[in-house]
Chains A and B, each alone.
Chain A
Amino acid sequence: MPTPAQQAQTRDLIAQRIPGEKSSLPAIVLVAGWLIPGAGHMILGKWVRGVLLFAAIITLYVVGLGLAGKIYNPSSGDILDILGSVAQLGSGLLYVLARVLGWGANPVLTTVADYGSKALLTAGLLNILAAVDAHSLANGRKAS
């Protein structure tokens, strides 16, 4: 007769997601994590990680805007602008808001503004990293 602890362990093993299993959850957390920093982790119940990711990425984004960083425009034709906008698009809704509401400076006029641009780019790239991490958690590729 299995003990209650063994029964709980068996239940956990059965409930564990199998890598490659068909489910829409990984796609949902990937998109949610991309649109709103940390949202993917929050959907998976990893609240502390979600809040920390949200705070870190938003702080970096706000610092970037505060230093008058540049919001890149992909339609300028310049390859660096296109690459920059791809990286900043990683911020999801923040990039859309920045484009719609005209946040950020364009072009970069001071040295400090160049640091701001790098902070905005980094925020986008880190958000992609966080969204992919949430996706890996959802599909079982990452253990916990």
Chain B
Amino acid sequence: MLSHFSAAVLFALCISVVFGITQRAEPKMMIRFGAFCFALFVGGLILASWLMFAVKH
């Protein structure tokens, strides 16, 4: 069974793959944009998690 974190990372990975392929024309730029989206998703996820932790404590 997936944890919340692993489900969110898998969600981010799938979306980043589609965004990378559809939003850029060159394969190299697709990989770069996909990696950028993935980093933003996971970074946002970790930031939001710590914010929620700070709000609760």
**Which chain A residues have a beta carbon within 8 Å of chain B's beta carbons?**
41, 49, 52-53, 55-57, 59-60, 63, 66-67, 115, 119, 122-123, 126, 129-130, 132-133, 142-144
Dominant secondary structure of chain B at its interface with chain A: helix
Q: Smallest CB–CB gap between B35 and chain A, Å?
A: 14
Q: Count of chain B residues with Cβ under 8 Å from any Cβ of A?
A: 14
Query: When the two chains form their complex, are residues B14 and A126 in contact, meaning their CB atoms are under 8 A apart?
Result: yes
Q: In B1-53, which residues have CB < 8 Å from any A CB?
A: 2, 4, 7, 10-11, 13-15, 17-18, 21-22, 25-26
Task: Compute how far the CA of A41 lies from the CA of B10 in the bound complex, rounded to whole angstroms.
Answer: 23
Task: Compute how far the CA of A20 lies from the CA of B40 in the bound complex, rounded to whole angstroms.
Answer: 36
Q: Besides A132-B22, A133-B22, 19 other CB < 8 A contacts?
A: A41-B21, A52-B21, A53-B17, A53-B18, A55-B17, A56-B15, A57-B14, A57-B18, A60-B11, A63-B2, A63-B7, A63-B10, A66-B2, A119-B7, A126-B14, A129-B18, A130-B18, A143-B25, A144-B26
Smallest Cβ-Cβ distance to B10: which chain A residue: A63
Task: Compute how far the CA of A129 lies from the CA of B11 in the bound complex, rounded to whole angstroms.
Answer: 16
